[in-house]
């Protein structure tokens, strides 16, 4: 069985998806629909930022989230067209890391492309605007097990944000709490404890105002039953109920991304291969470290399609 996985913030790169746009009509249609949806909100075409940058604009949370989703969905629509199959024909599950869960829901038919784009615009805007006065911070802790990191977050007043597996755990909180946590992690023997270049402390209670905003936005959108189950960030397990999926998007704003648990769940239910759709190989590399028995492939360029499906 195959699972589709979709990347989160950090995988973006200027020019991503341009080869799909240039070569395939289904990709053009995705970029055009998102441009039509979001141009009145951005005041410009998102595709121009994706293809031409500049990088310091694309990396702004306000743009990054919708940009990554759009690129992944453009690639997915090309795959469907080239194979002459729908997602449910070549995948048994879908999952995404943080904003990638929105892409997974769009891929699974839970959300329309236009609604997904609008929700990610509001998500990026809300997460940017609710940043605490000191800006907040995040850090990656490598070489400690989960229990040790959980203990140091309690001692420092920080929070576990992403359990990425493979010895990598991301923490979130105020700048003071993260500085303290980095020192504790170093004292505990962490291989590395480094601050991340982010604009806000994502996936922790400091984002509660953003969760309130998103609850209102999500309530206005139609959620359909998924064509394939979606493994959600907050549960680390598959969900097939649209109402539960809806609540999961609200909860993940402040909640932990349980990526390690998600991959282990996929292994338990018999997933033999993951296919990462989108720029980079971040999730592919994490899967390899968490579950070496699962085969991996990624599609970031047009030439990757035939290789990824073993053709």
Indicate which residues carry an active-site annotation. Answer: 98, 203
Burial of 220 (0-12, 13-18, 19+ CB in 10 A): exposed
What is the phi-psi region of residue 245: left when phi exceeds 0, alpha when psi lies from -120 to 50, beta otherwise? alpha
Distances 259 to 10, 60, 219, 250, 252 between C-alpha atoms, Å: 15, 23, 26, 17, 12
Residue 165 DSSP SS3: strand
Beta carbons within 8 Å of 193's beta carbon, 6+ residues apart = 139, 140, 141, 142, 181, 182, 185, 186
Residue 51 DSSP SS3: helix
CA distance 121 to 39: 11
Q: What is the DSSP letter of 10?
A: T
CA distance 176 to 158: 9
Distances 290 to 14, 171, 253 between C-alpha atoms, Å: 29, 19, 24
CA distance 38 to 289: 37
* Residue-level length of the chain: 311
């Amino acid at each position: 069985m195959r699972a589709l996985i979709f990347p989160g913030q950090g995988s973006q790169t200027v020019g991503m998806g341009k080869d799909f746009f240039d070569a395939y009509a289904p990709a053009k249609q995705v970029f055009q629909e998102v441009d039509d949806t979001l141009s009145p909100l951005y005041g410009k075409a998102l595709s121009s930022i994706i293809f031409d940058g500049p990088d310091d604009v694309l990396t702004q949370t306000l743009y990054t989230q919708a940009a990554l989703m759009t690129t992944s969905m453009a690639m997915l629509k090309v795959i469907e067209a080239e194979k002459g199959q729908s997602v449910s024909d070549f995948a048994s599950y879908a999952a995404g890391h943080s904003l990638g869960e929105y892409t997974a829901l769009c891929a699974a038919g839970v959300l329309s492309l236009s609604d997904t784009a609008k929700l990610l615009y509001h998500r990026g805007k809300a997460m940017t605007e609710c940043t605490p006065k000191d800006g907040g911070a995040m850090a990656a802790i490598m070489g400690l097990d989960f229990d040790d990191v959980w203990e140091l977050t309690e001692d420092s007043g920080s929070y576990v944000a992403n359990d990425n597996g493979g010895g990598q755990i991301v923490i979130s909180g105020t700048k003071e709490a993260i500085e303290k946590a980095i020192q504790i992690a170093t004292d505990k023997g962490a291989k590395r404890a480094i601050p991340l270049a982010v604009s806000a402390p994502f996936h922790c209670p400091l984002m509660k105002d953003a969760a309130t905003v998103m609850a209102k936005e999500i309530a206005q959108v139609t959620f359909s039953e998924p064509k394939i189950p979606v493994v959600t960030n907050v549960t680390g397990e598959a969900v097939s109920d649209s109402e539960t999926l809806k609540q999961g998007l609200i909860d993940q704003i402040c909640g932990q991304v349980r990526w390690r648990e998600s991959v282990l769940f996929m292994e338990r239910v018999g997933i033999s291969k993951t296919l990462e759709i989108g720029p980079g190989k971040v999730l592919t590399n994490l899967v390899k470290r968490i579950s070496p028995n699962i085969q991996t492939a990624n599609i970031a360029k047009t030439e990757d399609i035939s290789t990824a499906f073993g053709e």
